[in-house]
Amino acid sequence: MKKTVSGWGRYPVMEAEVRELLPGSTPALPEEGVIARGLGRSYGDSALADTLYRTLPRNRMLDFDGERGELHCEAGVSFAELLRVFVPRGWFPPVTAGTKHITVGGAIASDVHGKNHHRDGCFSDYVRELTLLGPGGEIFACSREENPELFHATCGGMGLTGIILEARMRMRPIGSSKLDVMTLKAENLEEIFRLMEEYGDWPYSVAWLDCMAGGRKLGRSLLMAGRFREDGRLDYTEKAAPGIPFTLPGFLLNRGTVSAFNALYYHRVRGKRTSGIQDIHSFFYPLDIISNWNRIYGRQGFLQYQFVLPKENSYEGMKSVLEEISASGMGSFLSVLKLMGPENDNFLSFPLEGYTLALDFKVQPGLFDFLDGLDCLVADLGGRIYLTKDARMSSGIFEEGYPGLQRFREVRNSYGMAGCFESEQSRRLEI
């Protein structure tokens, strides 16, 4: 069935054949232009292709070893389902993205990182093995011991090595469904960098930045550091999230409204240091409070721009990027800074040791040229741009940031996957 589809950013939009990957089936795949799709939360064009296979029908939890904390499940299981089942039993995903509306398969394909990457790494670091549907209907078992090259290509491989069917992964024991959260107010970029390092021993940390502030206030921000309590309370309820009833006019987002929002958000915290207790939803998934918040950016959609810089260049690099944004007037509601730990062995995983910044920009005239300039700045500083968020990076910038690309291409070719599994993104980036 042909449908109009897009990523979460609602840019770009295309017509695609959408098929269901039914339980127990090993469909004969088309020879080219196939990609798996879960809940559609990749922002750009990485889950867009001529033929999409929805993995959501394969969402069974197959086994759980309570002694090892190991879950065996199908790839279409969502994080929302994991939370409903496992939080009351004292378990939590080892790494989670900023939304619970993603699938296990998507988390592997994006090798998602979270607020604890500086201590715990990526989601794939907790995946022991996975099974993969290849182009001819063959099933591959992959782990660090069996087909290791295919395993490292698949984790972070954006679905370009096949359709992930099942995974075995470790869950994390927790002693509460609540977290102690410390909020610290930083007056500028230098102070937030100092605080991020000072609170680096907290399991989870993230900072929101006012990207419109300039001069001595450049980089003013709020750092939220959290850790699970040990009070034995494992209650878990999920409230219905209200939605925005229609797409808002794009002109509502402009330099004035974004600046006003940023200033209000920064000043809502009065003290230099406050503490409190938050639940899992408030701390990990604040954007899920509104079910379709992507409508606030208007009909043209938006781009999320996330990059990472190596630690030695992070401060000066972030300063340069924020100065460019502040001067351009292309402000962002959402500007999130995170500390990241060492990179792993996967060929296309995004994280590297340093700092990452994520920003939302509505699609508007001049934006693509502006981001092309930021791309060059990031590349010159030894950084890279996150594929899961990308919708417009050039192939040259991509190749410069991902040194494992050649090995990734070799694995795809050796398994005959290069002609079959393609996305609009992989074509654009010449993967």
> Is it the case that residue 257 has pLDDT exceeding 80?
no
> Is it the case that residue 328 has pLDDT exceeding 90?
no
> Is it the case that residue 256 has pLDDT exceeding 80?
no
- State what percent of residues in the chain have pLDDT above 90: 82
Please check whether residue 412 is in contact with residue 418, taking contact to mean a CB–CB distance below 8 angstroms. Answer: yes
Q: What's the burial of 271, exposed, middle or buried (CB within 10 Å: 0-12/13-18/19+)?
A: exposed
CA dihedral 25, 26, 31, 33 (to 10 degrees): 60
Buried b (16+ CB within 10 A) or exposed e, 49-63: bbbbbbbbebbeeee
- CA 14 and chain centroid, separation: 22
> What is the rounded average pLDDT of the residues 144-170?
98
What tokens were used for 162? 């096949």
Give kind and range of the element (H or E) at residue 166: strand 163-170
Predicted local distance difference test score (pLDDT) of residue 24: 86
Please check whether residue 326 is in contact with residue 214, taking contact to mean a CB–CB distance below 8 angstroms. Answer: yes
For residue 4, the tally of other CB atoms under 10 A from its CB is 9
What tokens were used for 19? 């098929």
Whether the CA torsion 312, 310, 374, 286 is positive or negative: it is: negative
Q: Which of 31-45, 235-249, 263-277, 328-342 has the lowest mean pLDDT?
A: 235-249
Q: Across-strand partners of 111? A: none
> What is the rounded average pLDDT of the residues 307-312?
98
Predicted local distance difference test score (pLDDT) of residue 329: 76
Mean pLDDT for the chain?
Answer: 94
Q: Across-strand partners of 380? A: none
Please check whether residue 113 is in contact with residue 351, taking contact to mean a CB–CB distance below 8 angstroms. Answer: yes
Return the SS3 of 345. Answer: coil
Q: Could you tell me the pLDDT band of residue 255, with boundaries at 50, 70 and 90?
A: confident
What confidence tens digit (pLDDT) does each residue in 47-60 have? Answer: 999 999 999 999 99
Predicted local distance difference test score (pLDDT) of residue 403: 97
> Is it the case that residue 366 has pLDDT exceeding 70?
yes
DSSP assigned state of 177: S
Q: Could you tell me the pLDDT band of residue 248, with boundaries at 50, 70 and 90?
A: low
Q: Which of 32-36, 177-181, 322-326 has the lowest mean pLDDT?
A: 322-326
> What is the rounded average pLDDT of the residues 181-206?
97
Q: Compute the distance between CA of residue 349 and CA of residue 374 in angstroms, rounded to an integer.
A: 21
What confidence tens digit (pLDDT) does each residue in 162-180 have? Answer: 999 999 999 999 999 999 9
Predicted local distance difference test score (pLDDT) of residue 249: 66
Q: Across-strand partners of 328? A: none
Predicted local distance difference test score (pLDDT) of residue 51: 97
> Is it the case that residue 331 has pLDDT exceeding 80?
no
Q: Could you tell me the pLDDT band of residue 16, with boundaries at 50, 70 and 90?
A: very high
Predicted local distance difference test score (pLDDT) of residue 185: 96
C-alpha triplet 148, 42, 16: angle, nearest 5°: 100
Give kind and range of the element (H or E) at residue 267: helix 255-267
What tokens were used for 245? 């009833």
Predicted local distance difference test score (pLDDT) of residue 250: 67
What tokens were used for 424? 């609009």
Q: Could you tell me the pLDDT band of residue 281, with boundaries at 50, 70 and 90?
A: very high
> What is the rounded average pLDDT of the residues 190-217?
94
What tokens were used for 83? 């939370």
| Beta strand ranges found along 57-117 (DSSP E) | 61-65, 70-74, 91-92
Higher pLDDT: 372 or 266? It is: 372
DSSP assigned state of 247: P
Q: Could you tell me the pLDDT band of residue 267, with boundaries at 50, 70 and 90?
A: confident
Task: Tell me phi and psi for residue 338, to 5 degrees.
Answer: -135, 150
> What is the rounded average pLDDT of the residues 327-336?
81
DSSP assigned state of 114: -
